[in-house]
Amino acid sequence: MQYRKLSDSIELKGVGLHSGREFCLSIEPSGEALSLEAGGTRLPVSGLALDGTGRGSDLIFPDGKRVRTCEHVLSALAGLGVWRCKLSVTGDFPLEMPGLDGCSLGLAREIMEKSVPCERENPLPFALRYPVYAGDDARFVVALPSSSFRVTYVIDYAAAPVGTRIFDYFGDGGTDYLKEIAPARTFVMRSDVEALRAAGLALGGSPDNAVVVGDTGVEAAGGLRFPDEFARHKILDLLGDLACLGRPLIAHVVAIRAGHVQHLQLVERLRAVSRLD
């Protein structure tokens, strides 16, 4: 397991992918567990409630305040092994993380520039001892005992440009994440765009930060970055959702046609199991 610690603060400003409004994100070095501040309240991410029903992962404070679409930021931190830092989001409520570049590449590069390898004072990984499952027969995710961290993700979409894809990720923090996962952008079916925007979602999305999938092709700045970019992005999302454990997980995580709902159900069950560990 590779770890890094921030040597300087990171300040980002940008629109939320769903709200289309501007927010500011501050990531500061800390000796304490990964935490989030919103509206003057700071708590470890491992102690916040979770909601994956709004086409993203929301973290919810005990008083009901929530920060929407946290997965890409958390993915960059966890994917590079940064587990000790303080996140703060400011802007008009309801809050949302800046949408960045629709993936984690820009933030991941800045984290690498403003961090150094760290061998001490890191959180103890959670080594899973028996399987933990979330979902149903059609969509599920399961964490299996393993000697190292691994993700196997299978997606299956009717749209021909996506189709059925599988990607295996063997990252334990570091350059593998930066090269293989961080550049993979979020995607949306063209047939869903109108309904999403009518529901107040995807208002900050554009070809610059998302891949729009039609029946026979895609719209994306520069085209696809990988033939299996869609599966890689699902792993990006899953890594961000798993970061809500507050510490690294040692397990083989297998996801079949899953999404944020199943990811976060798994996290809630892993949290319960880890408290008994």
Q: Model-level pTM?
A: 0.97
Catalytic residue among 18, 72, 233, 260: 260
Q: Is 260 an annotated catalytic residue?
A: yes
Q: pLDDT per position in the chain (277 positions), as tens?
A: 889 999 999 999 999 999 999 999 999 999 999 999 999 999 999 999 999 999 999 999 999 999 999 999 999 999 999 999 999 999 999 999 999 899 999 999 999 999 999 988 899 999 999 999 999 999 999 999 999 999 999 999 998 999 999 999 998 667 799 999 999 999 999 999 999 999 999 999 988 899 999 988 999 989 999 999 999 999 999 999 999 999 999 999 999 999 999 999 999 999 999 987 7
Edge to edge, what strands does the sheet with 95-96 contain?
A: 49-51, 58-60, 66-68, 95-96
| DSSP reduced 3-state for 158 | coil
Own/partner contacts of 57-65, CB < 8 Å, gap of 24 or more, are 57/237, 57/240, 57/241, 57/244, 57/260, 57/263, 57/264, 59/244, 65/38, 65/39, 65/41, 65/93, 65/95
Note the pLDDT of residue 173: 66
Phi-psi region of 115 (alpha: psi -120 to 50; beta: other; left: phi over 0): beta
Cα distance between residue 80 and residue 166, in whole Å: 22
Return the SS3 of 240.
Answer: helix
